[in-house]
Structure 1
Amino acid sequence: MSNYVGEVRPSQYITTFGPGSIVDLPDYSIIMAGINKWPREYVSGARNIEEPRLKKMLNIQQIKSIPVKEKEGTLPAYKFPEYHVCPKCRRLGKYNGRDFVEEDGILYCKNPDQETPCNKIKTHPVRFITACKRGHIQDFPWLYFAHKEKEYDSKKCKLYLKDEGETGSISDLKVYCSTCKQERLLKQAFDSPKTLGKCFGDRPWLRDQEECDEQKQLLLRGASNIYFSSLLSSIVIPSDDYHDIESIIREKVDLNDEELMGDWSNFQFYYKRDTDIKRLGLERVWEIIRKIRRESGGKETVDLKAPEYKAFLREPYNYDGEEFEVEKAQVPDRYEGLIENLIRVKRLKEVTVLKGFTRLQPLPDVTTKLSSNAEEFESETSKEAPITNEQNYSWLPGIESYGEGIFFTINDTKLRHWEQDNELYEASMQNAHNKMHQERGREMSEIPSFPGVRYVLLHTLSHALMREITLHSGYSSSALKERIYSSKEEGMAGILIYTSTVDSEGSLGGLVELGKSINFEFILARALASAGYCSGDPQCAEHGGDKLIDVNGAACHSCLLESETSCENSNRYLDRTVLVKTVLNQQREFFND
């Protein structure tokens, strides 16, 4: 589309209205186009966002900011769905010139077949569409559905969407062909999706089609499960001080570039122009690269969270010219032996990249699979719908946001003893984890690994703290976010609670202020006290052990659940009983004093 139709903020484009999403406008609805449809001058002119770790993990060369221009539409979109309905005569029609009249992009009905003919009545998009698990989306098959798989002439048939009740429910709607005298209740499409036929593989955001054998599913145009953006984010951290040649090579050389890494002559020709690499000696660098790739199986693995964890704890704590400033605070005496480090994060920058999307259900643990097992990562991303149909795309859209936070770690020795004492509970939580994914139609081989009881403790503590911080920091609950650093193998047990915004480069300072020793002690004490009781008790506290529901124990909206924008794991893996004693006293609390 060349005409200006509306505006979205860069953060909205990344999270809600990205490629493949449907945006409702006053006169029609649109589907946002793929990034390969962006005008080339916008892509070239868009500012580059530097975050080497994300680029390596996504195997791309650039992260591009969303182009912004005043009084001018910068990103393309296409009208979808094509079918509209007249609010007066209930005629169904498309953008084909036969059913409705189009003026300035708006469809009008001038149906002469009624007792009272329509006189230029503005139509609106139908509220029913179809989609499949692979992300394909298309108009509801009105003609096919109305004629019950019988033959029909699409050029002669005239369809109507009749509402014969007073409730406006699906059971009152039926599609009727006045030419063939065929009709069918729309409720049948909900009761038996097979009546809709197989998916055609339509990708209207990319203007193409691919083979698909999935079953269509009927959805409302404004349903919340039409679009789940798949995001990958990282905290921008300063580079390690160069202490060996291997660190320099990992920073300067793309070890996943098969064309260069697989051939000495190509590598020599390309990197002889890189002064830093040439200074180290091309042959020496080549041998070290071969060693690194042999140890990693040919591909360099990228870990996003472990370097961040180390950066928060690393000296020095201030970096000139970096959007990263931290200050170590004294751990309160009351929690010495339980809390190991307390860090006030005075300044941080987060980079978020849109890499795809899903329909019907989000990817499992998409925000926590930031690194580690490459095979699991690939098995999940293969189910995403792409935002471009280019085979070898070199860039993805992203945003930068700035803010502040509090970071602290749990004593690893104490935590390991607690994990050993609660192995039976961990087994029950893992069974609930497997059962949840099996109920969603996943095979055992497709189920992501259980994050562990350590993660449940850290995640629950994070939610309890965020609820209390909201009351004292000046930030709303939806403004706070969490980042959980949990790995028994690497000894990670940390929590980052932070806030970041796209539109400003500063923060209110209320969160950092709560990172001071005396304030943090007060906040943590109140959070733990509040976690002991819930207005939903005793029913809330009963959920634990064999009664785990959807991998949550004692957790509900009254005590632990947060807004979806704040939680990194869709409000799952939460249980108050791992923190403190509840009314049922399950005897698994970590903070037992």
Structure 2
Amino acid sequence: MSNYVGEVRPSQYITTFGPGSIVDLPDYSIIMAGINKWPKEYVSGARTIEEPRLQRNLNIQQIKAIPVRDNEATLPAYKFPIYHVCPKCRRLGKHNGRDFVEEEGVLYCKNPDQETPCNKIKTHPVRFITACKKGHIQDFPWLYFAHKKSEYDKKKCKLYLTDEGETGSISDLKVFCSKCKDGRSLKEAYENNKLLGKCFGERPWLRDREDCDEQKQLLLRGASNIYFSSLLSSIVIPSDSHNDIEALVEEKVDLNDEEAMENWSIFQAVYSRNPDVNRLGLEEVWKTAQKIRNNITTQDNEDMKGPEYQAFLREPYNYDGEEFEVEKEKVPTRYNDVITNLIRVKRLKEVMVLRGFTRIQPLPDVTARLSASEEEDTEGDSSKEAPITDAKNPSWLPGIESYGEGVFFTINESKLAQWERENEGYEASMTDAHFKMHKERGRKMSEIPPFPGIRYVLLHSLSHALMREITLHSGYSSSALKERIYSSQEEEMAGILIYTSTVDSEGSLGGLVELGKSVNFESLLLRALASVGYCSGDPQCAEYGGDKLTDVNGAACHSCLLESETSCENSNRYLDRTVLVRTVLNQQQEFFHNA
């Protein structure tokens, strides 16, 4: 479009209103165009965001910031859906000179066929569209559906979308052809998608179509499952923390010392007083040394969270020019046996990149999949991710960077491993619920990601409990907080980062870092654990916990654990407060016995 029609914030473009999404405007609705439709001068003039780890993972050369220009339309969009309806006569049609007339971009009805002719009535887009699981989207097939496969002349037919009842239900709506006298209730389309026919493979955001064998599905234009953005995010860490670690290990460690290289205790004794080794982290240096000795190179594109986890645990260091500053705190005495590290993250930068989107169903968290230590077959899911450009191998993707602060802490590995062994039955029950959820959504076994583990459920539930308590004491709203869970049994990762990362002033208020101080964190954690022991929904809420789960959530509801979707990294799934503390039903699977 050449004319200004509205505006969205850069963060909205990445998360909600990216290419392929529908944006409602006062006079019509639009679909955001693909990034290949951006004017070349906007692409070349857009600021480049530097984050090598994301660029390698996505196999792109550049991450481009969303172009912003005052009083000027910067990004293209197209009208969608094409069909409109008149609110007075209920005439259904599109801009073609016969149905409606367009004036200054707005469609008006001047239907002369009614007893009281419409006199320039402004129409509005129809509520119903069709889409498929591969991301294709198109107008509802009004003519085809109304005539029930009988022959019709689309130039002479006049369609009406009538409301024959007072209940407001879908069964009251009927599409009717005044010429052919054919009609059908939209309830039939909801009950049987096969009446809509096969998908045409239309991609209006790219202005093309492709072959598709999926079944069309009827959706509301404003439905939440119209658009799920596929994002890849990272916390920007100092460049020497990962890219050059092998070179640093080779420089600081004697790899030919067989005695130290084969015995962790001896290695620890030899290098524990070396400041350069301590800055990188003894365990990280040990693991890297073993990989070098075995000719195993690190694969950056297989792990996003691992390097971040190690970066938080290194000794504080003055990284010039880096938006990364951490400070270690003493672990509160009360939780000395369960918490290993407490880190105040005084400064951080987060980069998020939009790589595609899905419809009907969201994909599993992309960052989590790239951080998994196990090999996963995600080919089925990837094939359903719709592209935001027509280029097969794009050289750039849009992204945003934001700044903030946070609190990071880790759970005692030995205590956590013991708790996992004691609750293997619960983990099996949660695993069954995990596969059941994905099967009910129509996913094939090859498309189902592995269950993240009972370790993840514990960390995720603890993170939500803390975020709810932090909201009351930090000065941040609940939607301003985010979480990043570092969970891996194989890599012995068990950490939680609760942070705020925004483009405005809420990214640096300082209230969250203040709560990371030892004395403040102790009272914060104590109150958080106490708050999830009881829920206003008990005993019904607590009954969902235990070893007989019917959902991927156990004892978790809006009154005790659920957070805003923008704050949670996993769509409020894999939560259960019974793994944290004793509840009214006392399932005896809590991790914090003395909370």
Normalising by the residue count of structure 2, what TM-score does the alignment of the two structures yield?
A: 0.89
- How many Å separate the matches in 2 of 1:157 and 1:246? 75
- How many Å separate the matches in 2 of 1:293 and 1:99? 72
Deviation at 1:160, TM superposition (A): 0.8
* Structure 1 residue matching 2:56: 3-state secondary structure: helix
Residues 175-199 of structure 1: CA distance to partner in whole angstroms, max 9, x if unpaired?
Answer: 1111111111111111111111111
Counterpart residue number, 1:356: 356
Deviation at 1:247, TM superposition (A): 8.8
* Structure 2 residue matching 1:116: 3-state secondary structure: coil
Tell me, yes or no, if the aligned pair for 1:550 and 1:572 is still in contact at 8 Å.
no
The amino acid of 1:149's aligned partner reads: K
Residues 4-28 of structure 1: CA distance to partner in whole angstroms, max 9, x if unpaired?
Answer: 1010000000011000000011111
Deviation at 1:337, TM superposition (A): 1.6
Deviation at 1:101, TM superposition (A): 0.8
The amino acid of 1:161's aligned partner reads: L
Deviation at 1:500, TM superposition (A): 1.0
- How many Å separate the matches in 2 of 1:477 and 1:381? 32
- How many Å separate the matches in 1 of 2:204 and 2:297? 39
Correspondence 1:439 to 2:420: no
- How many Å separate the matches in 2 of 1:236 and 1:367? 14
Correspondence 1:309 to 2:278: no
Deviation at 1:392, TM superposition (A): 1.9
Correspondence 1:9 to 2:3: no
Once the two structures are superposed, the pairs formed by residues 253-264 of structure 1 within 5 Å of their partners are none
Correspondence 1:585 to 2:552: no
Tell me, yes or no, if the aligned pair for 2:476 and 2:506 is still in contact at 8 Å.
no
Correspondence 1:502 to 2:506: no
Deviation at 1:296, TM superposition (A): 7.0
Once the two structures are superposed, the pairs formed by residues 18-57 of structure 1 within 5 Å of their partners are 18-57=18-57
Correspondence 1:489 to 2:495: no
Counterpart residue number, 1:282: none
Once the two structures are superposed, the pairs formed by residues 251-400 of structure 1 within 5 Å of their partners are 301-372=301-372, 373=374, 375-376=376-377, 378-400=379-401
Deviation at 1:119, TM superposition (A): 1.5
Once the two structures are superposed, the pairs formed by residues 193-204 of structure 1 within 5 Å of their partners are 193-204=193-204
Counterpart residue number, 2:274: none
Tell me, yes or no, if the aligned pair for 1:318 and 1:326 is still in contact at 8 Å.
no
Counterpart residue number, 1:428: 429
Deviation at 1:292, TM superposition (A): 12
Residues 135-188 of structure 1: CA distance to partner in whole angstroms, max 9, x if unpaired?
Answer: 111001000001001111111111111112223322111111111111111111
Tell me: CA distance 1:477–1:300, structure 2 relative to 1, closer, same or farther (3 Å).
closer
* Structure 2 residue matching 1:398: 3-state secondary structure: strand
The amino acid of 1:176's aligned partner reads: F
Residues 296-316 of structure 1: CA distance to partner in whole angstroms, max 9, x if unpaired?
Answer: 79x864311000000001123
Unaligned runs of 5+ in 1: 249-290
Correspondence 1:410 to 2:411: yes
Tell me: CA distance 1:293–1:44, structure 2 relative to 1, closer, same or farther (3 Å).
farther
Deviation at 1:453, TM superposition (A): 0.7
Tell me: CA distance 1:198–1:22, structure 2 relative to 1, closer, same or farther (3 Å).
same
* Structure 2 residue matching 1:144: 3-state secondary structure: helix
Tell me, yes or no, if the aligned pair for 1:232 and 1:370 is still in contact at 8 Å.
no
Counterpart residue number, 2:529: 528
Counterpart residue number, 2:120: 120
Tell me, yes or no, if the aligned pair for 1:101 and 1:107 is still in contact at 8 Å.
yes
Residues 484-533 of structure 1: CA distance to partner in whole angstroms, max 9, x if unpaired?
Answer: 00011111100000011123495110000000000000000011111111
- How many Å separate the matches in 2 of 1:295 and 1:37? 42
Tell me: CA distance 1:118–1:243, structure 2 relative to 1, closer, same or farther (3 Å).
closer
Deviation at 1:443, TM superposition (A): 2.1
Tell me, yes or no, if the aligned pair for 1:429 and 1:545 is still in contact at 8 Å.
no
Tell me, yes or no, if the aligned pair for 2:331 and 2:341 is still in contact at 8 Å.
yes
Report the more deviating stretch, 439-448 or 149-158.
439-448
- How many Å separate the matches in 1 of 2:550 and 2:473? 32
| RMSD of aligned alpha carbons | 2.0
Deviation at 1:46, TM superposition (A): 0.4
The amino acid of 1:23's aligned partner reads: V
Deviation at 1:321, TM superposition (A): 1.6
Tell me: CA distance 1:380–1:294, structure 2 relative to 1, closer, same or farther (3 Å).
farther
Tell me: CA distance 1:497–1:581, structure 2 relative to 1, closer, same or farther (3 Å).
same
Normalising by the residue count of structure 1, what TM-score does the alignment of the two structures yield?
A: 0.90
Residues 435-467 of structure 1: CA distance to partner in whole angstroms, max 9, x if unpaired?
Answer: 111111122222101111111111111011111
- How many Å separate the matches in 2 of 1:247 and 1:44? 39
- How many Å separate the matches in 2 of 1:77 and 1:301? 33
- How many Å separate the matches in 2 of 1:419 and 1:351? 33
Tell me, yes or no, if the aligned pair for 2:463 and 2:498 is still in contact at 8 Å.
yes
Tell me, yes or no, if the aligned pair for 1:345 and 1:407 is still in contact at 8 Å.
yes
Percent identity for Structure 1 against Structure 2: 80
Unaligned runs of 5+ in 2: 251-291
Counterpart residue number, 2:519: 518
- How many Å separate the matches in 2 of 1:506 and 1:152? 59
The number of equivalent residue pairs is: 550
Counterpart residue number, 1:465: 466
Tell me, yes or no, if the aligned pair for 2:86 and 2:109 is still in contact at 8 Å.
yes
Deviation at 1:540, TM superposition (A): 1.1
Tell me: CA distance 1:375–1:590, structure 2 relative to 1, closer, same or farther (3 Å).
closer
- How many Å separate the matches in 2 of 1:112 and 1:179? 15
Once the two structures are superposed, the pairs formed by residues 64-83 of structure 1 within 5 Å of their partners are 64-83=64-83
Once the two structures are superposed, the pairs formed by residues 221-260 of structure 1 within 5 Å of their partners are 221-240=221-240, 242=244, 244-245=246-247
Deviation at 1:104, TM superposition (A): 1.1
* Structure 1 residue matching 2:89: 3-state secondary structure: coil
Tell me: CA distance 1:77–1:293, structure 2 relative to 1, closer, same or farther (3 Å).
farther
* Structure 2 residue matching 1:222: 3-state secondary structure: coil
Tell me, yes or no, if the aligned pair for 2:380 and 2:446 is still in contact at 8 Å.
no
Counterpart residue number, 1:252: none
Tell me: CA distance 1:505–1:189, structure 2 relative to 1, closer, same or farther (3 Å).
closer
- How many Å separate the matches in 2 of 1:188 and 1:478? 39
Tell me: CA distance 1:178–1:18, structure 2 relative to 1, closer, same or farther (3 Å).
same
Tell me, yes or no, if the aligned pair for 1:92 and 1:160 is still in contact at 8 Å.
yes
Tell me: CA distance 1:176–1:321, structure 2 relative to 1, closer, same or farther (3 Å).
same
The amino acid of 2:527's aligned partner reads: R
Deviation at 1:585, TM superposition (A): 1.1
